[in-house]
Copies of this chain bind each other. A is one copy, B any other.
Amino acid sequence: MTGDVLFRRIALIGTGLIGSSLARAIRRHQLSAEISACARSPATRTRVVELGLADAVTDDPGEAAAGADLVVLCTPLGTYKSIAERMAAKLKPGAIVSDVGSTKQSAIRDLDSSLPAGVHLVPAHPVAGTEHSGPDAGFAELFQGRWCILTPAAGTDDRAVEKVAELWRRVGSKIELMDASHHDKVLAITSHLPHLIAYTIVGTATDLEEDTRSEVIKFSAGGFRDFTRIAASDPVMWRDVFLNNREAVLEMLQRFSEDLVALQRAIRWGEGDKLESLFARTRAIRRSIIEAKQA
């Protein structure tokens, strides 16, 4: 390791929005001497080469991970277990395995059992993204000013945790350490439920009669378009989020549904005071978000 180079070799398993953004940020800030990448489709591998995102690219997670000091899974959550199995034998002693997935209990469950002794698991979740997917959608500034949540198990090597934290700090993120189950609960309300609701309402609109549907597109500026942006996020990634954070999502969904029924009832019975007081209350949380510079 020379100068500011944090790792001699980083392997990125998956080069979509997050993986390719991380590759660009690692290059820009010179955080690794080498980047090896793994991508399943030939088309993606071609783009990774054309975009200069990695020094080597392969479709074999084991080959990409071999000799890496840090391996970061940037693939949908449903792939973790088989990727861990495929690369386990190739990991060098002392290597750190991390990820960028949106649910952390499942990440630990699917990775931990397959990793050999002497390899450090430091799960991470950069809370950043856009509705675009693929290696062309990434950009080096994606993580700037955003939070990255680390959820290492108790007893994880401190130096390994610190090296992953430092990587994310260098690409512009703020670090938070959290218990995996608490992470999954917080993200269920801040991210998973909003996506589920956005997918639902856009689906509801899609099912309207043909003439109304074309007008929905035309007049989407009234609020609907913001939901369509969220509902344009990667389908496989989000399928896996809901399958892997089921309990917390269902719990938050239950609370949301109860609150929605209460509002529905207030509308039906013309209870203007109830509506107004809820609508006034929600403004405060927006102000807090603006003050926290996350708007």
Contacts and interface: CB of A to CB of B under 8 A. Distances in A.
B203 A259 contact: yes
A207 to B, nearest CB: 7
B268 A250 contact: yes
A83 interface: no
A181 B228 CA distance: 25
A80 B231 CA distance: 36
A283 B233 CA distance: 8
A243 to B, nearest CB: 6
A117 interface: no
A165 to B, nearest CB: 17
B268 A222 contact: no
Contact of A218 (B253, B267, B292): B292
A224 to B, nearest CB: 4
Nearest to A102: B222
A286 B198 CA distance: 12
A80 to B, nearest CB: 15
Contact of A225 (B275, B284, B295): B295
Query: Interface residues of A toward B: which range?
Result: 35 or more
A47 interface: no
A289 B225 contact: yes
A3 interface: no
Contacts of A203: 259, 278, 281-282
How many copies, total?
Answer: 2
A93 interface: no
A252 B204 contact: yes
Contact of A194 (B190, B223, B240): B223
Contact of A199 (B195, B208, B255, B278): B278
Interface string A185-200: 1110111111111111
A125 to B, nearest CB: 9
A200 B235 CA distance: 25
Contacts of A278: 199, 203
Contacts of A204: 189, 252, 255-256, 259
A260 B264 CA distance: 15
Given A146-B221, A194-B222, A232-B282, 10 more contacts: A127-B219, A195-B223, A199-B282, A200-B256, A207-B259, A228-B285, A231-B279, A235-B280, A239-B276, A239-B279
15 contacts: A186-B215, A194-B226, A200-B256, A207-B259, A217-B285, A217-B294, A218-B292, A220-B289, A220-B292, A228-B286, A235-B280, A236-B276, A239-B275, A253-B267, A257-B260
